Chains A and B, each alone.
Chain A
Amino acid sequence: MFQDVDISDIINGIPSAVVIVDTSSRVALMNDKAEALTGRSNSEAAGLDAAQVLRSSLQPLQKHLAPVLKEGHSVVEDGDILDRNRQLVPSRFSLAPIEDSKGRLIGVMVAIEDITHQVKLEQERASATIFEGITGLSPSMQEVYDQLSVYASSDAPVLIDGETGTGKDFFAEAIHKASRRSGYPFININCRTLPEPLLEAELFGSEDHDKTGVIRLADHGTIFLSAIEEMPLALQAKLLTVLDQGEYFVPNSTKKVAVDVRIIAATSRDLEELTRSGGFSEDLFYRLNVLRMHLPPLRERADDIPLFIERFVAAFSGGDDGPSFDAEAARILKSYAYPGNIRELRNIIEHAVTLSGGGQVRVEALPDYVSRAVRQADAAGGVSGGELTPSAAGRPMKWDEVEKEMIIEALRKSGGRRSEAAKMLGWARSTLYRKLKHHDI
Chain B
Amino acid sequence: MKVMIAVLKKDVAPRFDLTLEAVFADIKRGKVQGEPRMILISRPSGEELSGLAVKEGVDRVVCGGIDQVHHDFLTWKDIEVVDGVIGPWEEALAALAASDLRPNAILAGASAG
Residue from the list B18, B65, B110, B113 in contact with A86, Cβ < 8 A:
B65
B64 touches A86 (CB 8 A): no
Name the residue among A24, A39, A86 with the largest chain B CB count within 10 angstroms. Answer: A86
Specify which chain B residues have a CB less than 8 angstroms from the CB of A85 in the assembled complex: 68
Any A CB within 8 A of the CB of B2: no
Any B CB within 8 A of the CB of A44: yes
Contact of A86 with B11 at beta-carbon distance under 8 Å, contacts A26-B113, A49-B110, A55-B65 already known: no
A86 touches B14 (CB 8 A): no
Specify which chain A residues have a CB less than 8 angstroms from the CB of B113 in the assembled complex: 24, 26
In the complex, what distance in Å separates the CA atom of A48 from the CA atom of B110? 6
Q: Is the interface of B mostly helix, strand, loop or mixed?
A: mixed
Give per-residue flags for B72-113: 1 if the beta carbon is below 8 A from chain A beta carbons, else 0. 000000000001101000000000000000001010001101
A39 touches B15 (CB 8 A): no
Interface size on B, residues (CB 8 A): 20
Give per-residue flags for A27-53: 1 if the beta carbon is below 8 A from chain B beta carbons, else 0. 000000000000100001001110111
Residue on B nearest A27 in the bound complex, by CB: B111
Any B CB within 8 A of the CB of A57: yes
Give chain A nearest CB distance to B14 CB in angstroms.
Answer: 5
Residue on B nearest A46 in the bound complex, by CB: B111
Any B CB within 8 A of the CB of A59: yes
In the complex, what distance in Å separates the CA atom of A217 from the CA atom of B68? 46
Give chain A nearest CB distance to B34 CB in angstroms.
Answer: 28
B68 touches A55 (CB 8 A): no
Contact of A87 with B111 at beta-carbon distance under 8 Å, contacts A48-B86, A52-B14 already known: no
Specify which chain A residues have a CB less than 8 angstroms from the CB of B14 in the assembled complex: 51-52, 54-55, 59
In the complex, what distance in Å separates the CA atom of A3 from the CA atom of B22? 48
Residue on B nearest A83 in the bound complex, by CB: B65
Any B CB within 8 A of the CB of A291: no
Contact of A57 with B15 at beta-carbon distance under 8 Å, contacts A44-B106, A48-B86, A48-B111 already known: yes
Give per-residue flags for A68-103: 1 if the beta carbon is below 8 A from chain B beta carbons, else 0. 000000000000001001111000000000000000
Give chain A nearest CB distance to B90 CB in angstroms.
Answer: 16
B104 touches A86 (CB 8 A): no
A88 touches B67 (CB 8 A): yes
In the complex, what distance in Å separates the CA atom of A82 from the CA atom of B15? 8
B11 touches A59 (CB 8 A): no
In the complex, what distance in Å separates the CA atom of A54 from the CA atom of B64? 10
B64 touches A55 (CB 8 A): yes
Contact of A48 with B106 at beta-carbon distance under 8 Å, contacts A24-B113, A26-B113, A55-B15 already known: yes
Residue on B nearest A86 in the bound complex, by CB: B68
Contact of A59 with B15 at beta-carbon distance under 8 Å, contacts A86-B65, A87-B68 already known: yes
Any A CB within 8 A of the CB of B58: no
Residue from the list B18, B67, B71, B86 in contact with A52, Cβ < 8 A:
B86
In the complex, what distance in Å separates the CA atom of A414 from the CA atom of B27? 75
B111 touches A82 (CB 8 A): no
Name the residue among B67, B71, B104, B113 with the largest chain A CB count within 10 angstroms. Answer: B67
Any A CB within 8 A of the CB of B3: no
Residues in B lying within 8 Å of A, measured CB to CB: 8, 11-12, 14-15, 18, 64-68, 71, 83-84, 86, 104, 106, 110-111, 113
- Mind listing 23 A-B residue pairs with CB under 8 Å? A24-B113, A26-B113, A39-B84, A39-B104, A47-B111, A48-B86, A48-B106, A48-B110, A48-B111, A51-B14, A52-B86, A53-B86, A54-B14, A55-B15, A55-B64, A55-B65, A59-B14, A59-B18, A82-B15, A82-B66, A82-B67, A86-B66, A87-B68
State the 3 A-B residue pairs at the shortest beta-carbon distance, nearest first: A55-B65, A82-B65, A86-B68
